[in-house]
Structure 1
Amino acid sequence: MEYLEFETPIKELMEQYQTCTLVGEESGVDVKLACSQIEDKIIEKKKEIYGNLTPWQRVQLSRHPDRPYTLDYIKGIADEGSFLELHGDRNFADDPAMVGGLAKINGQSVMFIGTQKGRTTKERQHRRFGMSNPEGYRKALRLMKMAEKFNIPIVCFIDTPGAYPGLEAEERGQGEAIARNIFEMFTLKTPVLCYIIGEGASGGALGIGVGNKVYMMENSWYSVISPENCSAILWRNWEHKEEAASTMKLTAQDSLKEKIIDGIIEEPLGGAHYDPKTTFENVKKSILSNIKAFKKFSREELEAQRQEKFIAIGKYKG
């Protein structure tokens, strides 16, 4: 388990617990009471730290290297052996930063689409840290249209620091690809559910982020720009990233308050990576309950509801 800087007190207690357990095993001395007391301290410290997280600390948690990614969610939610990954945009190439395919959840067919980061250095380079090229968004749109044709609900998992900013991406029409996806998603006549599971940055997130319902994991963030880049623009360095994070209202709690999202998916104490199984179960319940609710909608009503939802964002009374 890798620990972030603000998790150092928990790390120290965990090391004490491991030492206590080891001493008991090697010496044969009964240390159950001592270990139990350390366990209680760990729980108390977790509640203290994770119950008072700053926006910047939530940003750090959203990037935790042990945090589950899109393919982890699909594997944890879909019926065993049911996921069939689909590749290619039928135009240029297959983008490994954007994954998708058909699966079943409790027998219900679903089209999964999401940005995928990598675990190892080699995989991160291969998937460009979850930053999609235009062909990734075009692949996503192809899968959405396929799902619409067969009236299959779409579930999008968003975890990206943004669309890929490379020269080749611009040459192949990055802006047009994202804009096309946003436009087309507004007109899809099948349920679309979007879940921000980590980072939800800029157009990279919006390219697969127009849904009938949009949810955020408890320790995720959603904004037009990252705190570091916001700090770089305003202060010309990254030193004010914490201040930027607090000002930007990018947390799930802020987004719900501003009615940008429809709900927050609770994470286990410490974050999704502490107990992925419970995390997947929470998301699965949300997906199934929403699919059931939207079965009552006609295809035209699904399209209208999605449009009205986004048109309402930003309205205010003078």
Structure 2
Amino acid sequence: MSWSKTEEKILLLREKLENCSKEEASLIKKEIEQLKKEAYSHLDAWDIVCLARHPKRIKSMDLVESLFTDLFEQKGDRLYGEDGALWGGIGSFLGKPVTILAQRKGKTLQENMECNFGMMNPEGYRKALRLAKQAEKFNRPIITIVDTSGAYPGKGAEERGQAEAIAQCLKQFMTLNVPVITIVLSEGGSGGALALSVSDHIMMFENAIYSILSPEGFASILWKDETRVKEAAKMMELTSKDLYLKGIVDQIIKEPLGGIQENPNYCIEQVRQGLYEQLNKLQTQNEKVRSKNRYEKFRKLGACHE
């Protein structure tokens, strides 16, 4: 049974919990846990895509507000305007100042429209670049949170230099002399995600995905048939385990049965610990050595996949 069908069955069982005796409730809860264990032990790539897109999955701002204090948002690219798809600003992580760049999705239709469903425009990437240079000036580590299906492909975005803005991010982040850590929260799609992923350490949630494009787009281009998404997802090797084995991802954040939404605090604490360890490690390195290691890491990955 696929994860989506298992989840439907679990929802029906949870509805029964509202009107049943304690004994019945205990049996139903055991059945729910058993269903989760069975389905979770046989997840395929498409199941993980569905979990990554789960409507109740936490968003980047949940992560930002849980991990950082003293938040101060900074808006605009100083060239065109503000991009709601990227939250950028300064915060404190365990008392130390950091710059935060978080691709933002909403929890409601209205919120998603305001942040363009997490799809950044050129001004968003230029804002990221502006804040990254500011972080370098004041010697602040940079934390990026990736959660996007891709950069916005609209006519206006192309006219305002979408490709050039992404390319500049790739180039400049490669040579930043401060530590950069990336957290792949849910979806990491195409160059829109890669622009904020050039970093010293990449953490990825267990049920997140990271790929050149969506499975739907892959199936449409390769086979002219969007119904072959399950086959596409498997072929693309877009899961955290696939990417960890390839050396693209450095750390996998474990999720509870059913995904982050089942126990967000458990996952957030893992991220907190991972950030603490990596920031301490990276900040003790010589900045030239750190920048060289970052550059060589991505050159090596590029050579392996040419």
Question: How would you bin the TM-score normalised by the shorter chain?
Answer: over 0.9
Q: 1:158: Cα distance to partner?
A: 0.3
> In the alignment, what sits opposite 1:9?
9
1:111 CA drift (Å): 0.9
Partner of 2:92: 104
Residue identity in the other structure for 2:251:
G
CA distance in 1, matches of 2:19, 2:300: 55
Q: What residue is the counterpart of 2:47 in the other structure?
A: 57
Q: Which runs of 5+ in 1 are unaligned?
A: 21-30
- The match for 1:40 among 20, 30, 34 is 30
Could you give the per-residue CA deviations for residues 151-209 of structure 1, whole angstroms, max 9, x where no partner exists? Answer: 11111000001000000000000000000000000000000001110110100001111
Q: Could you tell me which amino acid in structure 2 is paired with residue 301 of structure 1? A: V
Q: Distance in 1 between matches of 2:161 and 2:303?
A: 31
Identity of aligned residues (%): 40
In 1, Cα distance between the equivalents of 2:99 and 2:304? 35
Partner of residue 231 from structure 1, selected from 188, 202, 219: 219
Among 276, 292, 317, the residue aligned to 2:264: 276
How high is the TM-score relative to the length of structure 2?
0.95
How far, CA to CA, are the matches of 2:304 and 2:152 in structure 1?
A: 34
1-structure distance, mates of 2:26, 2:222: 49
Q: Does 1:147 align with 2:127?
A: no
Asked if 1:122 is matched to 2:84, the reply is no
Amino acid at match of 1:76: S
| CA-to-aligned-CA distance 1:2-34 (integer Å, 9 cap, x gap) | x944411211221222231xxxxxxxxxx3232
Match of 1:26 in 2: none
Aligned to 1:132: 120
User: Which residue in 2 is equivalent to 1:27?
Assistant: none
Is structure 2 residue 160 aligned with structure 1 residue 197?
no
Q: 1:316 to 1:197 in 2, by over 3 A?
A: closer
Residue aligning to 1:209 = 197
Please, which runs of 5 or more residues in structure 2 have no aligned partner? Answer: none
> For residue 125 of structure 1, what is the amino acid of its counterpart?
M
Q: TM-score, normalised by structure 1?
A: 0.92
The C-alpha deviation readout for 1:31-82, integer Å capped at 9, x for no partner, is 3232112211111111111222111111111111111111110001113xx1
Counterpart-to-counterpart distance in 1, 2:204 and 2:165: 24
1:70 paired with 2:60, answer yes
Name the CA distance, whole Å, in 2 between partners of 1:148 and 1:18. 54
Q: How many residue pairs are counted as aligned between the two chains?
A: 303
What amino acid is aligned across from residue 17 of structure 1 in structure 2? L
Separation (CA, whole Å) in 1 of partners of 2:237 and 2:146: 18
> RMSD of the alignment, in Å?
1.5
- Give the counterpart letter for 2:180 in structure 1: V
- Quote the offset at 1:127 in angstroms: 1.0
2:296 is aligned to 308
* 2:226 counterpart SS class: coil
Say which one has the larger Rg.
1
